[in-house]
């Protein structure tokens, strides 16, 4: 595997990779030779708890070494634009920075959030593409401006583990938040689950929160949340800012918070969220603290999604 940015990179073999991830969960150290004398490099332009630590754990399980750089704070301020006179605050160009960092590793993970101001720049993945152009090793997205594929893969592992029937209904629901958040997690979730063969997929959100059709692939949208949640086997909550009115918060309607009453509409459904989650804003305490919540197993599966992808990248190097 030479890159992992979206479902497209695994579309032809996602079932095989899912089985591989489930095998890793059973036997985490079975491939501990794959990473011998290899290094996984992780660059974070933004904060992270799960992605950072699960990626480190995944690399260790493969016997690899790891370095992490908080590019947003620990290194030189990077210049992203080409052809500029660098007489301002930036001290190093991303071109040299990535060429150097990729010389120090065998797989390069990068987290780069959208700025939510310039839609074209975000949706053209300008920063991720600069990383790819200058990297001499495979690049893995640790959440880009538009997608979060390691999260979606972990979500797939989790749903595969918890599903009780052949086919399952999965509902992606918008929920309120006080800050403008990326569309990366819901875009990615929609892109994956609209194409997973055992899933009936529904999206629910207030009007104005339609996601990019490039990622929803014609998924059913139901604007009435109660209606959408009926008989759901999995409820996947997430806030996102508007795609059409780019980066804006259009609603903070607390009736969209996922509560016990909402979960009662489902088919004894499981509650999922990628975390970090704001309690009693996105989801009420009595849901998050109940047996129907599987957010911790979901976060645990981040290890095995990363381990599977790193393993594929290290093998092909
Ligand atoms: C980020 C987001 O919504 O994309 C990261 C989620 C994994 N969340 C926040 O910034 C709170
Ligand atoms: N879910 C997720 O990616 O969490 P972090 O932002 O903490 O890495």
Which pLDDT score is estimated for 316? 77
pLDDT tens, position by position, 286-317: 999 999 999 999 999 999 999 999 999 999 76
Looking at the DSSP assignment, which residues form a beta bridge with residue 170? 201, 234
Best probe residue, ligand 2, of 51, 272, 294, 306 (max atoms within 8 Å of C-beta) = 51
Give the three-state DSSP class for 41.
Answer: strand
For the chain, give the percent of residues with pLDDT over 70: 100
**Domain enclosing residue 73, as ranges:** 3-148+302-315
Output the CA 276–ligand 2 centroid distance in Å: 6
Q: What is the mean pLDDT of the chain?
A: 98
Output the CA 84–ligand 2 centroid distance in Å: 33
Output the CA 14–ligand 1 centroid distance in Å: 25
Cβ contact 191:154 at 8 Å: no
The mean pLDDT value for 275-291 works out to: 98
For the chain, give the percent of residues with pLDDT over 90: 99
182 CB under 6 A from ligand 1? yes
Q: Are 249 and 311 within one domain?
A: no
pLDDT tens, position by position, 177-188: 999 999 999 999
Distance CA 143, CA 189 (A): 12
Q: What token pair was written down for 175?
A: 């929920």
Q: Strands, E, within the chain: which ranges?
A: 3-4, 39-44, 65-70, 78-79, 92-93, 107-111, 139-141, 168-174, 199-204, 220-221, 234-238, 270-272
Output the CA 54–ligand 2 centroid distance in Å: 9
Q: Are 51 and 70 within one domain?
A: yes
Distance CA 28, CA 18 (A): 14
* Residues whose CB falls within 8 Å of the CB of residue 314, separated by 6 or more in sequence, listed in order: 34, 35, 38, 62, 64, 106, 107
Best probe residue, ligand 2, of 53, 302, 305 (max atoms within 8 Å of C-beta) = 302
Looking at the DSSP assignment, which residues form a beta bridge with residue 67? 41
Cβ contact 262:288 at 8 Å: no
Which pLDDT score is estimated for 317? 60
Q: Are 141 and 223 within one domain?
A: no
Q: Are 138 and 174 within one domain?
A: no
The mean pLDDT value for 95-108 works out to: 98
* Residues whose CB falls within 8 Å of the CB of residue 258, separated by 6 or more in sequence, listed in order: 173, 175, 235, 237, 271, 282, 283, 284, 287
What number of other Cβ atoms are within 10 A of residue 121's Cβ? 14
What number of other Cβ atoms are within 10 A of residue 164's Cβ? 9
Lining ligand 2 with CB less than 6 A are 48-51, 143, 151, 274-276
Q: Are 11 and 141 within one domain?
A: yes
CATH number, position 95: 3.40.50.1370
Cβ contact 195:11 at 8 Å: yes
Give the three-state DSSP class for 3.
Answer: strand
Distance CA 115, CA 117 (A): 5
Output the CA 212–ligand 1 centroid distance in Å: 18
**How many folded domains does the chain comprise?**
2
Q: Are 162 and 142 within one domain?
A: no
Distance CA 1, CA 5 (A): 11
What number of other Cβ atoms are within 10 A of residue 118's Cβ? 14
185 CB under 6 A from ligand 1? yes
149 CB under 6 A from ligand 1? no
Q: Are 178 and 141 within one domain?
A: no
Closest-CA residue to 186 (of 262, 282, 301, 260): 282
Output the CA 38–ligand 1 centroid distance in Å: 30
For atom 3 of ligand 2, the residue with the nearest CA is: 51
Q: Are 100 and 58 within one domain?
A: yes
Q: Are 191 and 234 within one domain?
A: yes
Best probe residue, ligand 1, of 51, 143, 236, 275 (max atoms within 8 Å of C-beta) = 143
Q: Are 115 and 23 within one domain?
A: yes
Output the CA 182–ligand 2 centroid distance in Å: 12
Closest-CA residue to 50 (of 180, 174, 147, 142): 142
pLDDT tens, position by position, 197-245: 999 999 999 999 999 999 999 999 999 999 999 999 999 999 999 999 9
Q: Are 116 and 181 within one domain?
A: no
Q: What token pair was written down for 244?
A: 């059409």
Q: Are 163 and 141 within one domain?
A: no
């Amino acid at each position: 595997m030479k890159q992992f940015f979206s479902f497209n990179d695994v579309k032809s073999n996602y079932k095989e990779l899912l089985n591989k991830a489930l095998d890793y969960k059973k036997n985490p150290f079975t491939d501990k030779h794959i990473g011998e004398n290899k290094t996984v490099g992780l660059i974070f332009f933004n904060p992270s708890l799960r992605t950072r630590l699960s990626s480190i754990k995944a690399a260790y399980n493969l016997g690899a070494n790891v370095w992490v750089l908080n590019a947003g704070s620990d290194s030189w301020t990077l210049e992203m634009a080409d052809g500029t006179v660098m007489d301002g605050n930036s001290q190093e160009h991303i071109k040299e920075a990535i060429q150097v960092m990729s010389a120090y590793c065998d797989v390069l993970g990068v987290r780069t959030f959208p700025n939510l101001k310039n839609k074209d720049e975000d949706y053209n993945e300008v920063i991720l593409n600069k990383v790819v152009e200058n990297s001499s090793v495979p690049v893995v997205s640790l959440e880009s401006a538009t997608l979060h594929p390691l999260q979606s893969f972990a979500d797939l592992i989790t749903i595969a583990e918890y599903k009780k029937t052949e086919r399952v209904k999965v509902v992606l629901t918008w929920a309120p938040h006080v800050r403008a958040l990326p569309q990366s997690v819901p875009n990615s979730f929609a892109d994956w689950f609209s194409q997973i063969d055992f899933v009936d997929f529904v999206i629910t959100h207030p009007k104005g929160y339609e996601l990019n059709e490039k990622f929803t692939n014609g998924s059913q949208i139901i604007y009435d949340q109660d209606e959408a949640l009926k008989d759901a086997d999995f409820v996947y909550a997430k806030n996102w800012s508007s795609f059409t009115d780019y980066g804006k918060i259009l609603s903070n309607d607390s009736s969209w918070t996922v509560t016990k009453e909402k979960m009662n509409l489902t088919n004894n459904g499981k509650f999922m969220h990628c975390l970090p989650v704001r309690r009693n804003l996105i989801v009420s305490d009595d849901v998050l603290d109940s047996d129907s919540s599987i957010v911790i197993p979901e976060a645990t599966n981040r290890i095995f999604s990363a381990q599977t992808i790193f393993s594929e990248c290290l093998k092909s190097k």
